[in-house]
Amino acid sequence: MEREWAVVVPGHSCRGRVSGRCRALLERAAELVEERPARVVVFSGWATWDGPSEAEQMLEAWPGRRDVELLAETTASSTAENAARSLPLLLQRGVAAATVVCAPLHAARVTYFFGGLYPQFGVRCEIRVARALPTPQALAREVAAAVVAPRQRRAALAELRALAR
């Protein structure tokens, strides 16, 4: 028996508000859920400012179906944590496959974290990109993040293994 499918949307904000890029991710995720109803949609991202987290803002801005479970994971502050903190939510719901929606420049890092972690715990993972124009800031962020990515993935894996015990 095939288990359920989920959509995961890592957050992106600008000055404490969900960015235009993040709204494009939400639109793309909503299109996917319209084509194939998901068991759950997880929005992942924390708050570094006063006010609602990225995840809570994405939940509020969700343009898609409301007949699916919508979850705000509010503790992740990096892409590695987005993967590590969303995975237990999927496993608790019997999800066997997930689609992660991200911006084109973020796809390599999302693949490294989600694609490197989810399958180790029995969840197939695919990455879908939303239309989002790259910016110099986004490119700089991806280059800088690549330096710490191996350490972050080891930490995320350790977190997941500790939860599995």
User: What is the residue extent of each domain of the chain?
Assistant: 4-164
4-164 belongs to which homologous superfamily? HUPs (3.40.50.620)
What tens-digit pLDDT sequence spans the chain (165 residues)?
Answer: 345 999 999 987 776 778 888 899 999 999 999 999 899 999 999 877 778 899 999 999 999 999 999 999 999 999 999 999 999 999 999 999 999 999 999 999 999 999 999 999 999 999 999 988 788 888 888 899 999 999 999 999 999 999 988
* Angle at 67 (CA atoms; ends 61, 69), nearest 5 degrees: 70
pTM over 0.95? The answer is no
Report d(CA 76, CA 128) in Å as an integer: 20
The answer to whether 45 touches 13, Cβ cutoff 8 Å, is: yes
